[in-house]
Structure 1
Amino acid sequence: MSTNTNGGSRRGIGPEIRAARWAIRHPGMIAMPTMLGTGELELLSHFGPIGAGSVTGALALGVATWYRAHPDSFDSIAAPRIRAAWRRWAGPYMGVKWRDLCDATDLAKEHRRKGITLYPRVLKVQAFSPHVDLVHIHPAKGQSIQAFESRLADLTAGLRAERIALEPLARGRFVMIVQRTEPFTEVIPAPEMPQYSKEVDPARLYVGEDEFGNDWTESLVGTSSFLLVAGAVGAGKNSIPLALLRGLAPMIRDGLCKVWIIDPKQLEFAALKPITFNGHAYATVEQGGDGAACLDLLDDYIADMERTQRRIMEMGVRSVPISEEFPLNVLIVDEVASLVAYTEDSSARGINAKLARIASMGRTTHHSMVVTTVDPGKDVIEFRDLFPSRICLRVSAPTQPNMVLGEDARERGAVADEIPLGKEFIGIGYAQGEKTKNPRRVRAAYTSDRDMHELVEFVTRRGHLRSVA
């Protein structure tokens, strides 16, 4: 994009040439109105004004009905395209507004010999989320991503955004990730515990809320039996397994769910020892970094898994429903990095291998696993790819969202490394969408010490505390 400012011919580029250039760069903006106009003319010629108006009204009514009747599909299919088109062609990324922003932030470049002003080009805008814009940018000739990095504060102010991050692409291009607003302004209270086991669906356990205001749920059965939660110290990782346990409370109480816990820090989950399987399925790291007790608990968990496998095989079936005979088993491994990477203990290698075995074989026997880690690197969690469900809370490096959520996750808006410090941001992160690769911004419910003690009392005393309305 360029503008003649001085020198050379006094005549600028003809408007018809500029229009032709614009049409070549944006064929969709020419094709779509042309198709709509042609279609409307066809309707007018065949059915007259009344018929054409009726068809147009029916289409508009159909879209409105879709919006009201099936919000999930509308929000995932139509809404992102409508938002992106509106923000690209009527928002701050349209031609004149974008050039004014570049002028105001010193991102326009002067070509002194030719006497023209060069502007970085907006290639496309994506808006999978109502709170985040993904702006694909081709910098001006001789301009690099560093020019934008030095102007982030000015760009953030100019776009009236919460924050902006940059993700480099090939051939010098990059994505400007613009977080327009923060969807989470209040702490979400701990989920209420269902009164009866029949009210619990282990495939849809409440964890918190997503950026659309919908319930955020995770599964501990079937193909989604294994959940990886990554986040820096103080990011709120343990809010997720604690929310899952509160959702499973009546099943734990009734013997339909067995809880196993490995707690290296000897602090976060110590209060939950009474609700573990037989009251003893709790292991920690002994003084001096000895992880033998954790290794023993994993051996017991695998042995239980193998016994269940043999019983299912003897029955001649491939799967069985959850029951007292075949309960759901939930293994929680807190801060796995301290077990397999940040230690010189000889048990580290064995722990890594056993966790990988559980993640590869436990699905059909109802043996699930929730693992939290401060470091999601492949050298720490060698079996990372075996987790179908992953959550990335606040992390410290821009490479880590891709490690957790998959390739290009940050390019698609998962800027977990940009989540600020502070209590008001604990539990905020990104989860992979159920039907799409696009990450959702989520916030986990906060489970306090009181809520943990309430869970223990509910399970151990067969209490009937708070029922779900």
Structure 2
Amino acid sequence: MRTYNFFAHDVPYWIIMATVPFIRHWRLTLFFLGPLWAMWPAYFLVNNRFAWLDFYLGTTLLAACAICFAWMSAWMPWDDIDRLVRYLTSPRADRKALRHFDKRWPAYMESAGLSRKSLDGSGEIVVPPLYGLEFNELRQLVVRPGMLLGQTIDDWEAALEKLRTATGALRARCITDDHRTGLAIVFSFDDALAETSKLELPANEVAISTDTAQLGFDEDGNPWNLDLRISTLTAGATGAGKGSVMWQTIVSQGPNVAAGLVQLQGIDLKGGMELSLGLPMFTRYATEMPEAVVLLEEAAQQCKDRAKRMAGISRMHHATVDEPMVMIIIDELANLVAYQTDRDLLRRAEAALAILLTQGRAVGFYVFGFLQDPRKEVLKMRNLFPQSIALRLDSAEEGAMMLSHDAVRAGARCENIPKSQPGVGYVLADNGQVTRVRAAYVPDEQIREAAELFPAPHRLPIVVPDIEPKPTRRTRTRAEGSEAA
């Protein structure tokens, strides 16, 4: 039974629900039941002489309460009831905090630059109205303000950091409606992502979706599910937790890898330092630049061939053993497309990646790239990745490169993520809202266990063709030239 705690006593939820309308509409309650309550002193005085009043008043009071409750509950919104129940059952400190915030609201608005003088010329300072104020289940303060005439969501997002500092919150974020005409501001005073989480390996016998994978949790305590049917770019400084995102993506598809529905292809140009722990799960694996280029070019050609086979049959790929979903994992993407001295290999790698990123989604070829520096000078094709994950970065400009300037204004401050919280980052949800997330930690023992449980059905070697050296034109010396003359 659902209960609430009142003064160390568990009170059934239905009792609270029955009393809330009377508290909410105390004037109506007083109108209906006031006369009866006024008769109680007289009842006690004459009870011994008129015992029939006991039955009369008792039944009348019960009937009046039932009629009043039914009438009020018929038109009172249940959201208001739940909100009032949360307020009445919240700790006294919470109620005091809400009253304090309500009292300080004009000062917050003026300090953040969201108030202004009245347009009627009276010189009166006008502040945005406060329509809602409550603590949610996660003890986050949810504020629902109104906007003054001429204000936009951008104005509130620009003032978000000032409001966060003024209220002493650890984090503040804007949640807007679909039309960006209304908003709610959520202040978090406790960090729900402070502790590292760990997810268990999926069972080999259980069918796993190839569409999404849980990588961790978001700041509201909900599972963070990543869309696997979109090429994804993850950026983060050294020690930001890119390995947690990478390996959680890989091991989440372990049963599908073992069943042949998902094919993993890996590129690790750091000599295999990262991906070699899970080597049995990869169908193809490259640690040198020539091998990586061949892997990408052959994957791009397979992508084109599959598109021809699917033409006129289906517009979206469905993973099968004969036509598996291909996930290309590239660790330190900058080593592949920026830090190479062989310009020909660099050009070929960029061309193959462009094909996979622009044509691979419908036919089941997806690239998951990881790098430290998201600047265009390092990754020219950054905008070809439809999905981005921004971990701890060095500046707000880099966060805007990965997400957007609007996301930074809405609270995605990647440069403020502590070094003590690897795996914490920001993503854009399907509705465009900024969400703070943390990837679950994947220890080396879990990677080795996954490699033993979910090996790839077969391995495909990478054959690098022998390239004959280009003939060089011999230049004649000055002495040879004079003799020829």
Which bracket does the TM-score occupy, shorter chain normalised?
0.5 to 0.7
Question: In the alignment, is the contact (CA less than 8 A) between 1:191 and 1:246 conserved in 2?
Answer: no
Which of 422, 427, 449 aligns to 2:444? It is: 449
**Equivalence for 1:276:** 282
Q: Distance in 2 between matches of 1:120 and 1:155?
A: 21
Q: Distance in 1 between matches of 2:385 and 2:132?
A: 28
1:11-30 to structure 2, matched below 5 A, reads none
Relative distance call for 1:404 and 1:179 in structure 2 (3 A) is farther
Larger radius of gyration, structure 1 or 2? 2
User: Aligned to 2:233, what secondary structure does the other structure show?
Assistant: strand
Relative distance call for 1:270 and 1:441 in structure 2 (3 A) is same
Identical pairs, percent: 24
1:231 and 2:236 equivalent?
Answer: yes
**Equivalence for 1:34:** none
1:318 and 2:315 equivalent?
Answer: yes
Task: Write out per-residue CA displacement over residues 283-324 of structure 1, whole angstroms, 9 at most, x where no aligned residue.
Answer: 124xxxxx22221110121122122223223x7443442111
**Equivalence for 2:331:** 334
1:452-467 to structure 2, matched below 5 A, reads 452-460=447-455
How far apart are residue 164 of structure 1 and its match? Answer: 8.0
**Equivalence for 2:204:** 195
Relative distance call for 1:92 and 1:319 in structure 2 (3 A) is same
How far apart are residue 99 of structure 1 and its match? Answer: 3.6
Task: Write out per-residue CA displacement over residues 250-299 of structure 1, whole angstroms, 9 at most, x where no aligned residue.
Answer: 1111111110011122311122222211xxx11124xxxxx222211101
Q: Distance in 1 between matches of 2:186 and 2:394?
A: 17
Question: In the alignment, is the contact (CA less than 8 A) between 2:164 and 2:187 conserved in 1?
Answer: no
Question: In the alignment, is the contact (CA less than 8 A) between 2:303 and 2:363 conserved in 1?
Answer: yes
Task: Write out per-residue CA displacement over residues 96-151 of structure 1, whole angstroms, 9 at most, x where no aligned residue.
Answer: 46649999xxx9xxxxxxxxxx999779999999758899999xxxxxxxxx99x9
Q: Distance in 2 between matches of 1:233 and 1:120?
A: 47
How far apart are residue 92 of structure 1 and its match? Answer: 6.2
How far apart are residue 382 of structure 1 and its match? Answer: 2.5
Which TM-score applies when normalising by structure 1? 0.63
Q: Which amino acid aligns with 1:342?
A: Y
**Equivalence for 1:294:** 292
Which of 421, 426, 429 aligns to 1:433? It is: 429
Q: Which amino acid aligns with 2:318?
A: P
Q: Give the superposed CA RMSD.
A: 4.5
Q: Distance in 1 between matches of 2:334 and 2:255?
A: 31
How far apart are residue 53 of structure 1 and its match? Answer: 7.2
How far apart are residue 58 of structure 1 and its match? Answer: 3.8
Question: In the alignment, is the contact (CA less than 8 A) between 2:282 and 2:456 conserved in 1?
Answer: no
User: Aligned to 1:239, what secondary structure does the other structure show?
Assistant: helix
Q: Which amino acid aligns with 1:236?
A: G
Q: Which amino acid aligns with 2:336?
A: L
1:337-352 to structure 2, matched below 5 A, reads 337-346=334-343, 347-352=345-350
Relative distance call for 1:292 and 1:64 in structure 2 (3 A) is farther
Relative distance call for 1:247 and 1:62 in structure 2 (3 A) is same
Q: Which amino acid aligns with 1:451?
A: Q
How far apart are residue 186 of structure 1 and its match? Answer: 1.7
User: Aligned to 1:186, what secondary structure does the other structure show?
Assistant: coil
1:248-263 to structure 2, matched below 5 A, reads 248-263=253-268
Q: Distance in 1 between matches of 2:164 and 2:413?
A: 17
How far apart are residue 182 of structure 1 and its match? Answer: 1.0
User: Aligned to 2:326, what secondary structure does the other structure show?
Assistant: strand
Q: Which amino acid aligns with 2:210?
A: P
1:63 and 2:59 equivalent?
Answer: no
User: Aligned to 1:370, what secondary structure does the other structure show?
Assistant: strand
**Equivalence for 1:169:** none
Relative distance call for 1:316 and 1:337 in structure 2 (3 A) is same
Question: In the alignment, is the contact (CA less than 8 A) between 2:257 and 2:455 conserved in 1?
Answer: no
User: Aligned to 2:362, what secondary structure does the other structure show?
Assistant: helix
Question: In the alignment, is the contact (CA less than 8 A) between 1:205 and 1:219 conserved in 2?
Answer: yes
**Equivalence for 2:48:** none
Question: In the alignment, is the contact (CA less than 8 A) between 2:300 and 2:353 conserved in 1?
Answer: no
1:391 and 2:389 equivalent?
Answer: yes
Relative distance call for 1:300 and 1:409 in structure 2 (3 A) is same
Deviates more, 1:178-187 or 1:436-445: 178-187
Question: In the alignment, is the contact (CA less than 8 A) between 2:164 and 2:171 conserved in 1?
Answer: no
How far apart are residue 60 of structure 1 and its match? Answer: 4.3
1:105-116 to structure 2, matched below 5 A, reads none
Question: In the alignment, is the contact (CA less than 8 A) between 2:235 and 2:389 conserved in 1?
Answer: yes
How far apart are residue 213 of structure 1 and its match? Answer: 1.1
Which of 336, 359, 362 aligns to 2:360? It is: 362
Which of 207, 214, 222 aligns to 2:215? It is: 207
**Equivalence for 1:181:** 190
**Equivalence for 1:45:** none
Q: Distance in 2 between matches of 1:250 and 1:341?
A: 35
Q: Distance in 2 between matches of 1:180 and 1:159?
A: 9
Relative distance call for 1:455 and 1:312 in structure 2 (3 A) is same
Question: In the alignment, is the contact (CA less than 8 A) between 2:254 and 2:454 conserved in 1?
Answer: yes
Question: In the alignment, is the contact (CA less than 8 A) between 1:120 and 1:137 conserved in 2?
Answer: no
5+ unaligned residues in a row in structure 2: which ranges?
1-24, 29-64, 84-93, 114-123, 149-157, 174-184, 458-485
Deviates more, 1:120-129 or 1:362-371: 120-129
Q: Which amino acid aligns with 1:458?
A: L
Deviates more, 1:375-384 or 1:227-236: 375-384
Which TM-score applies when normalising by structure 2? 0.61
User: Aligned to 1:302, what secondary structure does the other structure show?
Assistant: helix
Question: In the alignment, is the contact (CA less than 8 A) between 2:268 and 2:331 conserved in 1?
Answer: yes
Q: Which amino acid aligns with 1:454?
A: E
- Count how many residue pairs are aligned between Structure 1 and Structure 2: 354
Q: Distance in 2 between matches of 1:294 and 1:66?
A: 58
How far apart are residue 442 of structure 1 and its match? Answer: 0.7
Q: Distance in 1 between matches of 2:99 and 2:342?
A: 57
Task: Write out per-residue CA displacement over residues 395-445 of structure 1, whole angstroms, 9 at most, x where no aligned residue.
Answer: 1101222211223101111111111112xx1111111112x2111111101
Relative distance call for 1:92 and 1:292 in structure 2 (3 A) is farther
Relative distance call for 1:374 and 1:461 in structure 2 (3 A) is closer
Question: In the alignment, is the contact (CA less than 8 A) between 1:331 and 1:370 conserved in 2?
Answer: yes
Q: Distance in 1 between matches of 2:189 and 2:232?
A: 29
Q: Distance in 2 between matches of 1:95 and 1:414?
A: 29
Q: Distance in 1 between matches of 2:82 and 2:187?
A: 29
User: Aligned to 2:454, what secondary structure does the other structure show?
Assistant: helix
